[in-house]
Structure 1
């Protein structure tokens, strides 16, 4: 899934939740979290400060000797394994 598809999917998910966000707003949020070529996002900035960035259920981003790592959370593991829908 590329960025455009991620934005489109997030717009659909917000509509399912009852309050559809416009694609340009969703893209700005994704850019703010993950960054762009020109600007670091909030996750990268936290990692650079030595912090672990935790998103409950999804997982956490942290640094190890090899660089940035995502450690999936319990809810993400269960969804991927098919234990929850």
Structure 2
């Protein structure tokens, strides 16, 4: 899935709670994950030596100077078909 596909999927998923424009969703994605020209908040936290934890999804952290994701239980179970 590329950026535009992710924006569209988020829009469909969030539509039941109100209308979000593709531009609004894109700005949030850019703020969280960053762009070629500007780091997002996850990258900034990792560079500062911090871990970013999203309960159920997982945690972004550094391993040997490289960015890594440790999946949370809910994500791991969903991916492996064990989600309820």
Q: Do Structure 1 and Structure 2 share a fold, with TM-score over 0.5?
A: yes
Give the TM-score category using the shorter length.
over 0.9
Which residue is 2:23 aligned to? 24
Change (3 A) 1:20 1:84: farther
Unaligned ranges ≥5, structure 1: none
Indicate conservation of the 8 Å contact 1:12/1:20, yes or no: no
Q: CA deviation at 1:21?
A: 1.0
Q: CA deviation at 1:66?
A: 5.0
**Structure 2 length-normalised TM:** 0.94
Aligned pairs, number: 84
SS of the residue corresponding to residue 60 of structure 2 reads strand
**Is residue 10 of structure 1 aligned with residue 10 of structure 2?**
yes
Distance, in Å, in 2 between the alignment partners of 1:59 and 1:21 is 25
Q: CA deviation at 1:20?
A: 2.6
Distance, in Å, in 1 between the alignment partners of 2:75 and 2:19 is 24
Distance, in Å, in 2 between the alignment partners of 1:3 and 1:28 is 11
Unaligned ranges ≥5, structure 2: none
SS of the residue corresponding to residue 70 of structure 1 reads strand
| Residues 37-56 of structure 1 aligned to structure 2 (within 5 Å) | 37-56=36-55
Deviation string 1:14-65 (CA, Å, 9 cap, x unpaired) is: 013x223111000000000000001000000000000001111100000011
**Structure 1 length-normalised TM:** 0.93
